[in-house]
Chains A and B, each alone.
Chain A
Amino acid sequence: MASRSAQGDVPTSGRWDDGAETAGFNTKRKKKLAGIYQALNSDPIDVAALRRMAISEGGLLTDEIRRKVWPKLLNVDTSDPPPVSGNNLRQMSKDYQQVLLDVRRSLRRFPPGMPKEQREGLQEELIDIILLVLERNPQLHYYQGYHDIVVTFLLVVGEKLATSLVEKLSTHHLRDFMDRTMDNTKHILNYLMPIIDQVNPELHDFMQSAEVGTIFALSWLITWFGHVLSDFRHVVRLYDFFLACHPLMPIYFAAVIVLYREQEVLDCDCDMASVHHLLSQIPQDLPYETLISRAGDLFVQFPPSELAREAAAQQQAQKTAASTFKDFELASAQQRPDMVLRQRFQGLLRTEDRTKDVLTKPRTNRFVKLAVMGLTVALGAAALAVVKSALEWAPKFQLQLFP
């Protein structure tokens, strides 16, 4: 417990204290391993404890444990026979060509030293899993990036179990991404800016002025960062976290990354291209444990229910932007960006109460919240609350969050 509270001080400085970390590392790891096995061996299995372990520092530690715990987090019975299909899916599936193209090109997802033959075998399995899940769930639609998620499960748990896990995940956490259209995905992206606004209004306003949009975070969200992180260990660590949490957690994590890079963003030219370019190049040396605990903390402080109104307002603001699109286009054709911005701001001010709201909202309010955040980031409190919300969500499996 002492080491945990010491940890809690670290994230506020934005860095992970390596020295103090290594000292107690082995002890903590052993303790955690014991805790995980205890939860696995208790009857009934202590899923809440496993969720806590998946969220807290280091996640589930090894792939061997992941093979045991991931099914529990997804409520998949490993003794059930894996799904199979009697059909020749490669001939029948409308998605086969697209899946084939994407999987063939996804060489980076496999360990660098892996022999070509082995990799190609896995790629074939990857195609089979995807086509099978799609066949069994005709309401699901393939998207580019889905293969980045499936490959992670394939590499950790193997083909048979991966099929069951991915099927469950696809009908729950990923359900919104697999709609016929990407409208719900877009809606989830709309949570990004309100979260940033809660913590750092200056950064939020800068990004709004740059009109950077949220597409830089699209691949993060729909691949659970599998598409953009090159170190597989980081990817599985994040999957531990996301599997244990509410399906909107990846968007909180995306916000935390942007917030972490505040200074870089503010130093950037205030235009769409510069900010999009900066943010879409994700640094590979992120302090993952710190960011995970911050994301958990933000989730607790600003739960989705609280942000829903602001996210909807984003949609509204976009509509406004669309209606003033003509003016915008005309002005930009004339190479007068100042005019464009001014018109846009006037338009927003005239029609959007939300904007007025944001501008007049007392800033102190947020600084108070920030201070609170500093106190609560210690994983314990936040993780517990996150687990609680995950549990509240999990039994119902309600993914229809967005009407």
Chain B
Amino acid sequence: MASEMESSLEASFTSSGALSGSSVFLPPARSRIFKIIVIGDSNVGKTCLTYRFCAGRFPDRTEATIGVDFRERAVEIDGERIKIQLWDTAGQERFRKSMVQHYYRNVHAVVFVYDMTNMASFHSLPSWIEECKQHLLANDIPRILVGNKCDLRSAIQVPTDLAQKFADTHSMPLFETSAKNPNDNDHVEAIFMTLAHKLKSHKPLMLSQPPDHGVTLKPEPKPVMTCWC
């Protein structure tokens, strides 16, 4: 499967190279890539979560993300090497309207993040979900909901049952975690790995039956899938 994809990739680059007059581009064998976009309000911890997963630690200091940042990590799932690409987006509203759009292309999964200590960031979720719907044509792309900063126990504003109810309404699994607390380190790891496993098993399922988690509230006609093998 992977090798077939590689060869078609090469073919495409060769042809585009000939078209554009650039040199022929032959990449070495590459692993499959899962592209995941991480969205949510400003300061909910998108950068810290992606950094935790890709670098294995909490960053010393992070700044506002301007536009879109990119991190990746290679993992092995059932003996297959897979690259997980995380696209970390700016939280401020003005950036999403015209800027982030480009990065919704080809995403395989979406991670919505809110700050458990900030109710406003939870209340913004419906608009993020709506926006995501507008950008993504495929309705069955795996989406998960992540509540961050669960280590700040005394400051929690978003109760778990409320978040769970919301997640159920939108047919998303909910994870509560902390990018900062080392005890929850495995948790961040587990979240993205769960997603990666889901993605790995997602595609074959799409051929014959709807994905098990993908029961949407408003089922829309799915694009007709032809075999891509």
* Residues in chain A within 8 A of chain B (CB atoms): 98, 101-102, 105-108, 141, 143-145, 147, 181-183, 185-186, 201-202, 205-206, 208-209, 211, 213, 215-216, 218-219, 222-223, 227, 266, 269-270, 272-273, 276-277, 280, 325-326, 328-330, 332-342, 345, 359, 363
Contact = CB atoms under 8 A, between A and B. Distances in A.
A328 B104 CA distance: 12
11 contacts: A108-B63, A144-B64, A144-B65, A145-B66, A181-B97, A202-B20, A202-B22, A205-B22, A213-B102, A222-B66, A280-B70
Contacts of A223: 66
Contact of A206 (B20, B85, B91): B20
Contact of B8 (A269, A280, A336): A336
A337 B11 CA distance: 10
A186 B98 CA distance: 7
Nearest to A272: B105
A186 B99 contact: yes
Contacts of A340: 12
A269 to B, nearest CB: 5
A101 B5 CA distance: 44
A200 B182 CA distance: 48
A208 B66 contact: no
Shortest Cβ-Cβ A-B pairs, 6 listed: A338-B12, A205-B20, A219-B66, A334-B228, A218-B67, A144-B64
B27 A333 contact: no
Nearest to A101: B43
Contacts of B42: 98, 101-102, 144
Contacts of B8: 336-338
Contact of A215 (B20, B35, B102): B102
Contacts of A213: 102
Interface in B49-97: 61-70, 72, 85, 90-92, 94-95, 97
B160 interface: no
B23 interface: yes
Contacts of A273: 33, 35, 70, 72, 85
A333 B223 contact: yes
B interface bracket (residues with beta carbon within 8 Å of A): 35 or more
Contacts of B22: 202, 205-206, 209, 266
Contacts of B62: 105
B197 interface: no
B225 A334 contact: yes
A382 B66 CA distance: 32
B192 interface: no
A333 B70 contact: no
Given A219-B67, A280-B69, A341 B137 contact: no
A72 B107 CA distance: 49
B106 interface: yes
A182 B99 contact: yes
Contact of B63 (A106, A201, A215, A325): A106
Contacts of B157: none
B105 A328 contact: yes
Contacts of A141: 94
B166 interface: no
A181 B66 CA distance: 15
B16 interface: yes
Given A215-B102, A333-B138, A335-B228, A181 B64 contact: no
